[in-house]
Structure 1
Amino acid sequence: MPCLTSVAVGSACADFTVLFCLMNHGNQQFAAWYDENHRLTVGSRDLPNGAWAHFQPEGFWIAERDRPSHITDYDSHNYLTMAIDSDGFIHLAGNMHVDPIIYFRSHKPLDITSLCCIPNMTGERENRTTYPVFFKDNQGQLLFRYRDGCSGNGDDIYNLYHPQTQQWTRLLDTPLLNGEGERNGYARPPIQGPDGYWHMVWMWRESPHCETNNNLSYARSRDLIHWEKSDGTPLALPVSRSRGEIVDDADVGGGLINMVQEVGFDNQGRAVLIFHRYDVHGHSQAYLARPDGRGNWQKVQLSQWTFRWGFSGGGSITPDVTLSAPRAVGNGLLEVEWTSLWAGKGVWVIDEQQLCVLASKPFESFIAQESWQPRQQIHPNAEVQIVAAFNSDYSPQTRYWLRWEALPIFRDVPHDVATGATLLEVIEL
């Protein structure tokens, strides 16, 4: 197991779980989190050993929440996300769950103390925003995706940033996914594969209740503007449930869950989807699916579990089953890491031709086991949270990780116990 060192970043809230953010840019590192008073906080340091500097930007008053936008409540949807554009300006968004858009941008390159609240991006369809995501396209252009609307009734919107004017415009003239006023799509962010396509997987939901997920769907694109089905058939935008390509037609109550859907790639660069749903006996199972290029999907059940993850209702729920994106490991083999509240954890070794499990092996984390053990004595129910850093060009890295301890996800309402602050730290391999 690799050796770890750690450095304190600051104090963070421990009375609920929400994801923080860690980003590397050249020889600088940036973090965003909520302090022990639930206040948005940003930090930066020079790598490898610089001291952390902190800044707390001011937001605006949200009358519906009876609080300012730089203070969060107990909603685990209110994660934070960051980006740095081609001129070095910092972008920050988050603390949104059907809220007015909450967006900050620095006035000086790489300077957290110049972060200021920007009241809008385009000024349209920004009053009920959720799930902010920054990412970059093939040309390094900064994009922003969010949902307009609510769970069970919403559309996916994409914006494009213009560094010359520091303005945002729509990437598409229409939403990419359209719930038709009756549902919304829960999509993973588009991921670029070795075949040059951007691949996206999503499922539809009929209401705020998570058991109403249905119809796992797929689309791909060369440029994030023109989209098509797996056989190359063009998709007219916006993509609705009736227009899209259905990978698995599980109905409401069929076990699809938006927390467990990923796109990976086999050794030939072909997209492979993984997802959770119930089998004919009502048990939870993991499935793989791969398109054949002719509009059909090869689907295989990986697991042989005998438990049922019986999720239902609204609000954030705990991930009692996790499945990693399929990863090519050579010699015609894939690997998938899995965890389960009932069956433990492990790694499946998969024949990529048949998509069948050849062997199982123990799950081994990048992070030393002791780092996953609570040590701050916050509360007996506190759990360790570890989030990987990402590079500002969104290339992968495995050196730096953000670690803290907090009470678990709890349907977006407060726990009935009190905690102090948690120590937020960066651990380095």
Structure 2
Amino acid sequence: MQHPSSGSRRYLLLGLLVLGSLLGLPRASRAQTALGLGWARNNVNGAVFRKNSVVTHKREQFTAYYDSLGYVVLAKRHLPAGPWQVQRTQYQGNVKDAHNVISLMVDGAGYVHLSFDHHNNPLHYCRSKVPGSLDMGELQPMTGQQEQKVSYPEFHRFPNGDLLFMYRDGGSGNGNLVLNRYRPKTRQWRRLHDVLIDGEGQRNAYWQACIDARGTIHVSWVWRESPDVASNHDMAYARSLDGGKTWQKSTGERYQVPITERTAEYACRIPQRSELINQTSITADASGNPYIATYWRPAGMQVPQYQLVYLEAKQWKTAQVGQRTTPFSLSGAGTKKIPMARPQVLVGEKKGHRRVYVLFRDAERQDRISVAQCVDLTKNQWTTTDLTTISVGSWEPSYDTERWKKQGVLSLFVQRTGQGDGETLEKLAPQPVYILEWNPNTVAAPVGRASAAPTHAADGWKLVWVDEFNTPGPHDPRRLKFENGFVRNHELQWYLPDSAR
């Protein structure tokens, strides 16, 4: 890797100081050492629709991000806590457009698949030269058809190791959902559907998808009538039990493909101009019941609220998650600077009981990473915990879906990011990228700065070090000292006392 400039040293040191304050926290919630500095002037590294930003295959975990110059950087480590191997690829993206996210996945044979830098432009796709490698091959087509106006690429992995690739063909308000499937045995992609969901030239679907433990594909979506975000409406649903060949409603009634506004099943009817957000998250429990997390402004109310739409006993239900108090409007085109993140939803089991988790970031909670938990949806009582005590700016949650499925451990991609309205940029220097781990089955403490006193003393945890970093001026030399060169791993870096704040 290149030697950092003096400015980069300053921000890397600041990131390491923040991460250093994590020492002594319970293993339930911890952040790994910073991988490097990522582009942060918009949310291209931190968008919720990255599928995936982090992924595990066997005992190796991979992640990707754009660095300060817009190069795609890949990294991997050996679980549970091996050191990160970081490698800048030969590929660059237009990081000034927050739509142009990086999505990656590892197939059942161990090859890394990468797609990046898309907003109505030709497909950018490559895969590793050998299994487990960070050395990527040349850009190549998948099927060669409908690959000129690609947006929102995302990968999903089937239980047998095959991959599903989804993307929008066309523009906002006028686009269609395309599906491809990859088989590691043949190392070839084939088309499943040219148009799974058809906007009929009048609208397009903004979807969220998942593959459950049984291999069922779940897709839900909102319709948008124009590039104006305020034209989002309704929440539709479809599933496939045969790997994407045929599709059905939650009742088992078979769809005629392509699915249109008229033929879709609706999990929830939501009118236009309800501040309904698009591209959020969906998951399924062990029985294959879907759960959709999103937000909108309920009728007669002024404030958008997080909402859970879920299927139970063959009936669609809706539950409000928490109670926000700050109104805002989504009206307008382009990526918005929004006071709340689009949420991620996860379902887990603890002592035989279902638990639902909604991950989010909200200005009402000082833009920390937060998780709302509910153990009984019939009572709809949510407990909210902050997983960090520091702000992550405009970040949205994306996580390692495969590790969560197999181990019940959340590996969350974290980087503080900015975001201006209409694709404008914030004056934010490159920020440290790291993976936050959280195990909901273990007592957790916030990551960022340790509490002044043990939060769960009864569980045997003892606070061993704390520094709030809340005093102006230089750091306390009795608590933190500079290294003359980064001697622990022999990098050619030198931290300057005058650069620390």
Would you tell me which structure has more strand in proportion to its own residues? 1
Q: Aligned-pair distance for 1:179?
A: 0.8
Distance of aligned partners of 1:158 and 1:187 in 2 relative to their CA distance in 1, 3 Å threshold: same
- SS of alignment partner, residue 316 of structure 1: coil
- SS of alignment partner, residue 144 of structure 2: coil
> 1:308 is matched with which residue: 291, 311, 327?
327
Bigger mean CA offset, 219-228 vs 42-51:
42-51
Match runs of 1:93-104 below 5 Å: 93-104=115-126
CA distance in 1: counterparts of 2:104 and 2:373, whole angstroms: 33
> 2:252 is matched with which residue: 229, 232, 236?
232
CA distance in 1: counterparts of 2:437 and 2:375, whole angstroms: 31
Aligned to 1:106: 128
- SS of alignment partner, residue 155 of structure 2: strand
Distance of aligned partners of 1:356 and 1:322 in 2 relative to their CA distance in 1, 3 Å threshold: farther
AA at the equivalent of 2:226: S
CA distance in 1: counterparts of 2:202 and 2:274, whole angstroms: 19
Q: Aligned-pair distance for 1:167?
A: 2.1
- SS of alignment partner, residue 33 of structure 2: strand
Query: 2:139 aligned with 1:130, yes or no?
Result: no
Q: TM-score, normalised by structure 1?
A: 0.79
> 2:170 is matched with which residue: 149, 155, 159?
149
- SS of alignment partner, residue 116 of structure 1: coil
- Asked if structure 1 preserves the Cα contact closer than 8 Å seen for 2:394 and 2:418, the reply is yes
Radius of gyration: which is bigger?
Answer: 2
Q: TM-score, normalised by structure 2?
A: 0.69
AA at the equivalent of 2:431: T
Aligned to 2:266: 246
- SS of alignment partner, residue 278 of structure 2: coil
Aligned to 1:377: none
Matched positions, count: 397
Query: 2:42 aligned with 1:16, yes or no?
Result: yes
Q: Aligned-pair distance for 1:145?
A: 0.9
Aligned to 2:100: 78
Would you tell me which structure has more helix in proportion to its own residues? 2
Q: Aligned-pair distance for 1:278?
A: 2.5
Bigger mean CA offset, 253-262 vs 392-401:
392-401
- Asked if structure 2 preserves the Cα contact closer than 8 Å seen for 1:390 and 1:397, the reply is no
> 2:372 is matched with which residue: 312, 335, 347?
347
Aligned to 1:270: 289
Distance of aligned partners of 1:426 and 1:361 in 2 relative to their CA distance in 1, 3 Å threshold: closer
Q: Aligned-pair distance for 1:120?
A: 1.3
> 1:184 is matched with which residue: 204, 220, 228?
204
- SS of alignment partner, residue 250 of structure 1: coil
AA at the equivalent of 1:422: Q
CA distance in 2: counterparts of 1:51 and 1:347, whole angstroms: 30
CA distance in 2: counterparts of 1:321 and 1:404, whole angstroms: 14
Q: Aligned-pair distance for 1:182?
A: 1.0
- Asked if structure 2 preserves the Cα contact closer than 8 Å seen for 1:44 and 1:52, the reply is yes
Aligned to 1:220: 239
CA distance in 2: counterparts of 1:110 and 1:7, whole angstroms: 21
CA distance in 1: counterparts of 2:201 and 2:38, whole angstroms: 38
Match runs of 1:17-416 below 5 Å: 17-19=43-45, 21-46=53-78, 48-50=81-83, 52-58=85-91, 70-113=92-135, 115-172=136-193, 174-192=194-212, 197-223=216-242, 224-260=244-280, 262-265=282-285, 270-283=289-302, 284-291=304-311, 297-299=316-318, 307-317=326-336, 318=338, 320=340, 322-325=342-345, 327=347, 334-337=355-358, 340-342=362-364, 347=372, 349=374, 351-352=376-377, 355-357=378-380, 359-365=381-387, 369-370=388-389, 372-373=390-391, 387-391=398-402, 395=406, 398=409, 400-408=411-419, 410-415=421-426
Gaps of 5+ in 2: 1-24, 47-52, 439-501
Gaps of 5+ in 1: 59-69, 375-381
Distance of aligned partners of 1:279 and 1:17 in 2 relative to their CA distance in 1, 3 Å threshold: closer
Q: Alignment identity in percent?
A: 24
Distance of aligned partners of 1:249 and 1:40 in 2 relative to their CA distance in 1, 3 Å threshold: same
- Asked if structure 2 preserves the Cα contact closer than 8 Å seen for 1:155 and 1:175, the reply is yes
CA distance in 1: counterparts of 2:362 and 2:124, whole angstroms: 35
CA distance in 2: counterparts of 1:403 and 1:273, whole angstroms: 22
- SS of alignment partner, residue 56 of structure 1: strand
TM-superposition CA deviations, 1:156-204 (whole Å, max 9, x none): 11111133443211023x421111111111111134267x743221110
Aligned to 2:12: none
- Asked if structure 2 preserves the Cα contact closer than 8 Å seen for 1:134 and 1:144, the reply is yes
